[in-house]
Chains A and B, each alone.
Chain A
Amino acid sequence: MKNLLKSTAAIAALALSTGAAMAQEKVVVYHWFEYIPQELVDKFTSQTGIEVVMDTYDSNEGMLASLKAGGIGTYDVSVPGDYMVEIMINEGILDTIADGELANTGNILPEWADPSFDPGRQHSIPYQWGSTSFAVNRDVYSGAIDTTDILFNPPAELSGKINMLDSQGEVMAMAALHMGIPQCSSDRDQLKALNAMLQEAKGNWASFNSDTAKEVLVSGDAAVGQIYDGFSAKAREEGANVEYAFPKQGYIVWMDNVVLLKDAPNRANALKFMDFLLEPENIAAVSNYARYGSGLKDVAEFLDPALATLPESNPPADAGAGVFIKVCDEQTQAVYDKIWTNVKK
């Protein structure tokens, strides 16, 4: 049946490649939903004559599952988050970009040129980066919000009005920051304490929603929401009186990256697409659309001026450190899964 899967994928790949031969050159992109402006896609096509075929996903894990279930060989590039790049490297489903294959890698900011999740940028280029923390409705609560207590040990007036992201990685990483323990700790007492803390905190939470993390804040269903910085900025622009918090215990930093997939049917076009996204003017268009940072040099002149002063992208001096979500080993991940099931059972 493994062969069945493989041959199905092969047929799909064949169909795609013959399609490409008959029609025009193309690049097949597996991307997050609503994460690239259509004008930019059109610009790429008119510059290069390469058609962009796009499928979308709504979670890193969902993307990985569909690639492992036969998507490899159909798609050329996808856009995983930092920890997912590391997982995909370990899974062996990324192709290596040789030196000189991309012309514009010199545009990458030095701090993003050699990230821990992909040393030497052998498989990926930066797409967008930002942070995950939480936003608080200032009409409901006016106290200090620079602490993760707001999520895990909230004051009485916020209890029962908290929306968490429906994502194990983000909740567990934030919980580890709150307790001051390392992410993916294998220490039994720490894991037991983490389990107990989350059981207790859950009683204060109203819901788990990722897709509607912004809407629940705008509508007033939730007064506190764990949220991505860009979503918080959009909630504010849509009229919610929310403030994005930079807790002193720390917050999550993430980066989405364009990766070259193994067995890419249109490898050369994929590289052209990546080079296109490494041009400051083009990636600035994505930033203006998605309200996140880009990781490239010389983008400032193309950026919407409002982005430079966005409170969500400018942490105060006394904010805690931003950390990436860590990739747990198999044993610790099994315990994490148990704790997560306990939270949601």
Chain B
Amino acid sequence: MTGGAPNSGGATTDTYAKARTWLLMPAWLVLLVLSLTPVALMLVYSFLTKEFRGGVIWDFSLAAYDQFFFDRGLFGDEPARIEWTYIGIFWRSIWQAGAATVLSLLIGFPTAYFIATRPEKARPIWVFLVTIPYWVNLLIRTVSMKFLLRDQGPLNDFLMFTGLIDSPIHIINTNFAVQLGLFYSYLPFMVLPIYAAVERYNFTLSEAAADLYASKWVTLRRILLPAVKPGVVAGCILVFVPSLGSFLAPDLLGGAKNFMIGSLIEEQFKGNAGNWPFGAAASMILLTLVLIILIMFTRQQAKSNKAGG
């Protein structure tokens, strides 16, 4: 976090020299007070002793991390084994978020491509259309989705009316419903960055490829995709990361039968468990996980950029 250091702004003229500290305050506020402080608090809390029924005792403890990784039986007095419960919950969340990301990419990429290839004047209208549903609150959209998907809901009614199915397909309260909910919640985050990338793409490159006898598939794979890859990666991250911590879709569409990372953490603060250090530890582990995934993405991209010259 050196970006806000007072002496690093080389381009600043002397006119602002005196006021600089004050003018940088908003940036400092955002970076330090609003971003770093909560994370630091969380880190500290994860190493404290839990107070019964919520709260912390200010004694150093590794109990929260121990609980996450080691299983000592129902009564906590058996020899420690690896605890698969929480790893399983994390794995399920990653899988769900991954499936939602893939779904979003499959639908989002062609959509973005379609918008970017419309006449220039029409594009803002298409983008506008994509964003309209997202003016409505996420909770309301998720509840509406529940109404659409239910056994006696419009979707099943329609499919039965058309004769495609005889009895309702059971979608609500399944993992697939959760993936569908996550996909729908975050789809614009996939469409918009890819659209921005495809819009900047120089389509004469595709023409040149075609002139050199590249098939359409090869043009897509070797010319278009590498050019718009930053947009695709940004879209994937923007869908994957919030999906990972989401608890609305799992609760409402998945029937809250299985903890996801988000609901597990919520339970530690708002549920009976009242185990703040464990909630903080689970949050830290999630944060670390996301950080590792982001670093892997960036490194891979840097590598492929180098390879591509």
Contact = CB atoms under 8 A, between A and B. Distances in A.
Q: Do A and B come from one complex?
A: yes
A168 B76 CA distance: 20
Interface in B78-98: 85, 88-89
B255 A206 contact: yes
The interface centre, meaning the residue of A59, A192, A205, A345 with most chain B CB atoms within 10 A of its CB, is A345
A337 B41 CA distance: 25
A59 B252 CA distance: 17
Contacts of A61: 54, 270-272, 274
Contact of A338 (B74, B256, B259): B74
A177 B112 CA distance: 57
B60 to A, nearest CB: 14
The interface centre, meaning the residue of B75, B150, B152, B255 with most chain A CB atoms within 10 A of its CB, is B255
A62 B273 contact: no
B74 A345 contact: no
B52 interface: yes
B151 to A, nearest CB: 7
A51 B251 CA distance: 37
Given A335-B74, A342-B85, A64 B53 contact: yes
Contacts of B269: 65
Interface string B99-134: 000000000000000000000000000000000000
Interface size range of chain A in the complex: 35 or more
Contacts of A337: 272-273, 275
A2 B58 contact: yes
B4 interface: no
A263 to B, nearest CB: 17
A335 B150 CA distance: 36
A334 B53 contact: no
Contacts of B270: 59, 61-62, 65
B173 interface: yes
Contacts of B178: none
Interface in B41-88: 41, 44, 52-55, 58, 74-76, 85, 88
B258 interface: yes
Interface residues of B, number: 33
B143 to A, nearest CB: 8
B257 A205 contact: yes
A163 B150 CA distance: 14
Interface in A204-242: 205-209, 212, 219-221
B54 A1 contact: no
A168 B271 contact: yes
A87 to B, nearest CB: 6
Nearest to A2: B58
Nearest to B76: A334
A62 B268 CA distance: 10
Contact of B272 (A206, A208, A340): A340
A68 interface: yes
A201 to B, nearest CB: 12
A64 B211 CA distance: 70
B255 A208 contact: yes
A333 interface: yes
A221 B44 contact: no
A339 B74 contact: yes
Nearest to B273: A337
Given A205-B257, A345-B258, A330 B52 contact: yes
B257 A344 contact: yes
B172 interface: yes
A166 interface: yes
Contacts of A168: 271-273
Contact of B255 (A195, A207, A338, A340): A207
Contacts of A219: 147, 150, 152
Given A191-B74, A208-B257, A209-B256, A68 B272 contact: no
Interface string B228-267: 0000000000000000000000011001111100000000
Contacts of A38: none
Contact of A91 (B53, B74, B259): B53
Contacts of B256: 166, 207-209, 344
A46 interface: no
Nearest to B256: A208
Nearest to A63: B270
A55 to B, nearest CB: 15
A237 to B, nearest CB: 20
14 contacts: A1-B44, A59-B271, A168-B272, A202-B257, A205-B257, A206-B255, A207-B256, A209-B252, A333-B52, A335-B74, A341-B259, A344-B256, A344-B257, A345-B85
Shortest 5 CB-CB distances between A and B: which pairs? A207-B255, A168-B272, A208-B256, A62-B270, A337-B273
